A and B are shown apart, each in its own frame.
Chain A
């Protein structure tokens, strides 16, 4: 493996910086990722990063974590995968633990409650935005629109387990596409 000389500690530090300096998920991490693993270290090529990111998007779990694991694995095998992933999540562990401690101490203060009363509404608006953006890209024909409605109704009104929904969607996708191919 040509990456033998990549130090585990360097992998940890690079992904620690990526995790600690990326706000938000998804595409927000790409600029930081490119800076660390392409420009600074030359561990992977621009093309490889995009391929790895694409694979990370269609595997279960958090995309940023999947990407870190894949790059770590390519450079230093299983230890590299584990070290890069731990680097990616370390800043979250530190920052969120600190914030959660503070929040638990101040949450009964009246002004904190008021602030969070407004913040909750803002979060509703942000999720509405995400749903609209994602829906434009994924509700592309009649079967996908019907599936979407079925999922919303079965979870909101009948509390169906999200795990069942995911398993059913995989089955549904394979069937619909198979039928489409046979028809054409």
Chain B
């Protein structure tokens, strides 16, 4: 059996529908456990005080903001190369989730930055590239709604997604490229020396799992929605023809 069989809309819906409630309940459980653990049962940081609790929202949302764009890049490339409609619709479905994650990362970063850096905002490489990523999400969603023909919209948004990927990569590695920014380097690392202390790391891992599951659940649900709307439009067009 080939993975491309799932590019069939009917097969996609039939396969994902039974999985969806499990993914959503898993997301809810992980988010509830991770956020309650992080908020109520972890100590304050010796330098950052209680603001360290913002970590459990800021880091997972920022990770998701970048990785969702990467997922959109992959599905856009699949659309451009293999012309599978489900992949184009999955990219379209992921964009609103990505923009919410980007907004969340920007907001939590600002309220964390104010007491720590003394400013809500700085034109720091990571912050600026994140703002540009937010604008790319906006532009991507606007382009989908501005073009009537679905295939043309999928083509043009795929090209926009490829261009925006530069900023998704910049958002991730900006602190490594330029050292003059306010933003610190990666908080999470496989290297134990660089990583945050375990007392913060374990609840953060549960939160990240929750964010990933929430994204998977929502992208499945929203892709199914797009498939159904597209089918309804096609049937209506056939009836009026």
Tell whether A pairs with B.
Answer: no
